[in-house]
Amino acid sequence: MKRYSVTTIDHFTKHVLGDTASFNWLVNNGYQELVATLDAIRDDKVAFKYLMSNKHIILAAFVNAIWDDSEAFKLLWRAKAFEWAACVNIINGDENAEAFLKRIKKENYILLAHAIQARIHEDGDRNTGPVGALKSIFDLKKAFKKEE
């Protein structure tokens, strides 16, 4: 399992919040898997495939666990990826997970969890507005055309 420094997680958090400089830092320092993780969380199938094909199994499990895949969460736990598992729990509303991360001195994952949670809500709000609804309709039309 790949471990990430505080600096790397901080840049990932800033990237989640839309910071271009942190996106560039991640790419320039070889952390494309973290960029792909955010994209996969946002339902980008190509990004998820990138995580799997490049053996970033913990990050792929993290993505799936966010979306209520209990087997993915169990994988995080078995792999001792406790900070990622706690991050999932925070995103999904478990207040005890924050105390755990504080206790193991991984507060930066708390910030990451809240950033992801905010991004998910922002994306959801964007998709439920009038423009998002129209975009969804056109995306559905494209999906059905591909199947024909």
pLDDT tens digits, 12-67 = 999 999 999 999 999 999 999 999 999 999 999 999 999 999 999 999 999 999 99
CA torsion angle 18 20 26 31 (round to 10): 50
Is residue 36 one of the residues assigned to a domain? yes
Integer CA distances (angstroms), 106 to 82, 83, 84, 97, 112, in order:
10, 7, 10, 11, 10
Is residue 142 one of the residues assigned to a domain? yes
Instruction: Please state the domain count of the chain.
Output: 1
pLDDT at position 140 is 47
Supply the DSSP string of 8-45, one letter for each residue: HHHHHHHHHTT-HHHHHHHHHTT-HHHHHHHHHHTT-H
d(CA 111, CA 117): 10
Is residue 123 one of the residues assigned to a domain? yes
Token duo for residue 133: 């609804």
Domain that holds residue 140: 6-147
- Residue 62, classed as helix, strand or coil, is helix
pLDDT tens by residue, 6-26: 999 999 999 999 999 999 999
Is residue 26 one of the residues assigned to a domain? yes
Is residue 89 one of the residues assigned to a domain? yes
pLDDT at position 147 is 43
Is residue 1 one of the residues assigned to a domain? no
Q: What is the pTM of this model?
A: 0.83
